[in-house]
Amino acid sequence: MTKNKTRVSMAGVLSAAALLAGVAAPAATAAPAAHHTHPGHSAREIPFTAAEVTAREDGGYEITWRAPGVRKVAVRANGRTVAVGGATGRVTVRGLPAADRQWFDLVPDRGERLRLADRLIRLEGTVNFRDAGGYRTRDGQWVRMGAVYRTDSLDKLTGDDLAKLKRLGIRVDYDLRTASERTSAPDRLPKGVRYVVADVLGADSPVFSMPETAAEAEQMMIDGEKAMVSGESAKAAYSTVFAGLSRDADGTLYHCTAGKDRTGWASAALLTALGVPRETVMADYLASNEYRAEANAAALAAMPAEQAAVYKPMLDVRAAYLNSGFAEVEDAYGSFAGYEKKALGMDARELRRLKADLLVG
C-alpha cells in the first residue's frame, strides 16, 4: 500500500470489491420447463416454529422442521408423500425428477401446511441469487417463498439462465447500482421484465480514503452502511423498491453488484418490516459469505497476502456492518417504524398491504 492515500467513493469501493471477486458460478442443474405456483394465503395457523429445505450436492434434499404439539408431519413433493415424521424431523429425500426449483409441502396433522424450497436459485451467471422468503416472523407467520428474490449482478446470465428466470415469473428488476456500474455491466433480462433504476449511492456517494489496513477497511464498510440508511440517494432508491413491493411483490427482483451490501440492506429492511426477528435477519445477511465464499477466496488468492488482508473486509459481510445500519436507523429516525415512514415513505396502509401479500399463516 502507498503512503499517499487515494480518495475513493463508496460506490467505487463496493463495485471494485465485487468485480475483484467475480461472479463465476457452478453449473446449474438441468431442469425442465415448469411454471411456479406460489402458496395461497390462509388464516389458519402454521404450527412450524422452524423449517428449512437444503439442496444437497448429490441431488437430494434435506428437510428439517420443528412443530411443537404436532403428532405427524407429511412431507409432500410433486403431489405425493415422500417422507413422514413427528413434531421434530430431519429427512433426506432423493430420486425426485429434475426441476427449476423443487418445492416441498410440510403438512401437519393440525394447522396449515408450509410450502418451502431451497433458498438458492442455481444459475450459471450468478452466485448469490436467492429467495428472500422462507423465514418465520415473531408472531408465527411465515414470509412466503417464490415472490421476492435478491441477487448479485445479472450481466453474465446465460440463455438458459434467462429462460429459467422467465419460468420463475420474474416481472420487475430493481437495479441498485450506480450509473458507471450499470454502463460497464448492463443487466441481461428475459423479455418483458420491467427494468427500474434505483441507484442507492448515486452521484453523491460518500468519499473515503482507500484503506491501508484491515481495520480501516472494516470501518469504511461500517460507515458505508450508514450511508445506505440515511443518504438521500439511498432513501429515494429504497422508497422506489418498497413502493413497488407494496403494490405487488410477486416476481420482484432487486440486486447490486455482489448482492451483499446494498442488496443486503434491502432484504434486511424488508424482513424487518415484515416482523422477522433480528437474529434471523442477520443470518440472512451473513449468508452472502457462504454463497460468495469460492469467488471471494479466488480473488484474495490472486493478491499478495498483505493486500488480501486489507481487501478481505470489503469482500465480506460482517455483523458489525449490518448492526451499524440498524444503529443509524435509531440515530436518524428514532425507530424502525420511523425509518419506514420518513425514509421509505411507507404509511400504515402500505405496510398492511405488504404484510398481507407476503405473509402466510
CATH code at position 230? 3.90.190.10
Whether residues 149 and 110 fall in one domain: no
204 — pLDDT class (breaks 50, 70, 90): low
Does the pLDDT value for residue 38 go beyond 80? no
Does the pLDDT value for residue 165 go beyond 50? yes
How much is the CA Rg of the chain, to the nearest whole Å?
A: 20
Whether residues 135 and 188 fall in one domain: yes
27 — pLDDT class (breaks 50, 70, 90): very low
The per-residue pLDDT for 296 is 95
The per-residue pLDDT for 113 is 97
Between strands 61-66 and 359-360, the pairing is unpaired
Whether residues 345 and 289 fall in one domain: yes
Does the pLDDT value for residue 278 go beyond 70? yes
**CB under 8 Å to 184, separation ≥6 — which residues?**
none
**Cell of residue 58, nine digits:** 448429490
Give the pLDDT mean for 43-69. Answer: 94
Does residue 139 sit within a domain?
yes
Contact 198, 174 (CB under 8 A): yes
What is the per-residue pLDDT across 283-311, written as a single tens digit (0 to 9) for each? 999 999 999 999 999 999 999 999 999 99
The per-residue pLDDT for 325 is 98
203 — pLDDT class (breaks 50, 70, 90): confident
Contact 228, 265 (CB under 8 A): yes
64 — pLDDT class (breaks 50, 70, 90): very high
* Domain endpoint, select from 94, 118, 142: 118
Does residue 2 sit within a domain?
no
Catalytic residue IDs: 256
Residue 192 CB: number of other CB atoms within 10 A? Answer: 8
Whether residues 68 and 212 fall in one domain: no
Whether residues 91 and 161 fall in one domain: no
Does the pLDDT value for residue 51 go beyond 60? yes
Does the pLDDT value for residue 30 go beyond 60? no
The per-residue pLDDT for 210 is 82
**CB under 8 Å to 80, separation ≥6 — which residues?**
none
Whether residues 85 and 160 fall in one domain: no
- Between CA 55 and CA 152 the distance in angstroms is 20
The per-residue pLDDT for 23 is 42
* Domain endpoint, select from 96, 118, 140: 118
As a whole-number percent, the residues of the chain with pLDDT over 70 amount to: 86
* Domain endpoint, select from 64, 85, 118: 118
Whether residues 323 and 249 fall in one domain: yes
Give the chain's domain count: 2
Does residue 1 sit within a domain?
no
Task: List the CATH number of the domain containing 51.
Answer: 2.60.40
What is the per-residue pLDDT across 131-144, written as a single tens digit (0 to 9) for each? 999 999 999 999 99
Q: Which domain holds residue 213?
A: 7-28+122-360
Does residue 265 sit within a domain?
yes
